[in-house]
Amino acid sequence: MDIEKLKARSAVIKLIRRWFDERGFTEMHTPRLVGLPGQEPYLEPFWTEVIEESGPHHPAALITSPEYMMKRILATGLDRIYDLGPCFRNNEPWDGTHDPEFLMLEWYRRDSGLEDLMRDTEEMVKWVIEQFVVLNEGRQTAEVEGPFKKILRQAQDDERWRRLTVEQAWREYCGIELAPVLEDREAMAQVCRDRGQSVVDDDTWDDLYFKIFLSEIEPKLGEVPTFLHRYPASMSALARKSSDDPRWADRVELYIGDYELANGFAELSDPVEQHKRFEEEQLLRQSLGKKSWPIDETFIAALPQMGNAAGIAFGVERLVMLLTGSDSINDILPSSARERFSS
């Protein structure tokens, strides 16, 4: 347990809240315990049971993100809302960047798009870094050493952060034109084979995408703070399709150093399309032999009232790791899951 780092984490949380509060955002404190959590094929909720005193039992799960509730609140007409609290994901690697219980910040704006999300994120992070350094003036926690020093200086830079479309990233880092192979599994398989990656029968287009993305692009992406945006539509179940080409979707991720810090969307508000995508996700879960559960129809029904909103999820601890020069999330928690359950 490193008291200085716990204090730093606490300071960062306060600064984030202040940034949003001063800009007219309202914190929502959405429920952690829900009946129908998100059904993303590769996220695993923690399941438990809610028991009423009078007897009935209800299956319940801890949220993997506050997204559904936040969108339902947006649909009531409220604008500029945020939520900062723990989220829970089971069955993830305890590799220094994940803990099953972590702090997630999410914020939403009505009538907005990716550009607004990128601007908010960049301004908020730069302000938090600046204030954090002021708070720690003369104290050693501000003296970040090693590889983090350069990254932090870049993150603070006046220059606007790099914005790279997925298409540009593939071109820049591996010289591959992605547009012609979008949605074409066979063509993508050939690209993989040509670059020494294995291809197996049950590889989906997305799997093949990740084999190259994780090998050749992702490790280099955060060399300067970078917003990666405009994703293949198949990887963006909750995002609006790009207006000029439906094979792409308005999704963005932020990379700084070795970390992916945020993931956001121009939110899909078409209930029919959303229902279809949820059914596809449900089927994919089933074909992977995973538990599935009913689609949250209350959520779907609220979508049309949400308007053209945009929202983004941000990993608070990863920012704290950058600010305290910690290379493991375990160093900035009072007690990590690895400590509590594994050793």
Partner 1 sequence: MGSPSDIKKSVVIRENGELWLVTEFQHVNPGKGAAFVRCRVKNVKTGKTLEKTIKMSESVDLVEMEYRNMQYLYHDATGYAFMDSASYEQATMSDEDVGEEGKYLKEGMEVTLTVYEGQPIALQLPRKMTFKIVETAPAVKGDTASGNVTKEAKVENGFIVHVPIFVNEGDMVVVNTDTGEYVERSK
Interaction site with partner 1 (CB under 8 A): 2, 4, 40, 42-43, 92-93, 95, 98, 140-141, 143, 145-146, 196-198, 200, 202-203, 206-207, 210-216, 218-219, 235, 260, 263, 325
Between 122 and 331, CB nearer to partner 1: 331
Helix (H), strand (E) counts: the chain: 12, 11
Between 4 and 184, CB nearer to partner 1: 4
Least separation in angstroms between residue 93's CB and partner 1 is 4
Least separation in angstroms between residue 215's CB and partner 1 is 4
Rg of the chain over all Cα atoms, to the nearest angstrom: 20
Least separation in angstroms between residue 151's CB and partner 1 is 17
Contacts 24+ apart (CB under 8 A), 268-275: 268/238, 268/239, 268/240, 268/303, 269/240, 269/303, 269/304, 269/306, 269/307, 269/308, 269/309, 270/303, 270/304, 271/300, 271/301, 271/303, 271/304, 274/238, 274/300, 274/303, 275/300
Between 98 and 110, CB nearer to partner 1: 98
Between 2 and 115, CB nearer to partner 1: 2
Residues 6+ apart with CB under 8 A from 74: 81, 108, 110, 306, 307, 309
- Distance (Å, whole) CA 204 – CA 183: 10
Between 141 and 269, CB nearer to partner 1: 141
Least separation in angstroms between residue 196's CB and partner 1 is 5
Least separation in angstroms between residue 140's CB and partner 1 is 5
Between 140 and 343, CB nearer to partner 1: 140
Least separation in angstroms between residue 285's CB and partner 1 is 12
Least separation in angstroms between residue 23's CB and partner 1 is 27
Between 219 and 294, CB nearer to partner 1: 219
| Residue 317 buriedness (CB in 10 A; 0-12 / 13-18 / 19+) | buried
Residue pair 97/259 in contact by the 8 Å Cβ criterion? yes
- Distance (Å, whole) CA 127 – CA 131: 6
- Distance (Å, whole) CA 225 – CA 172: 16
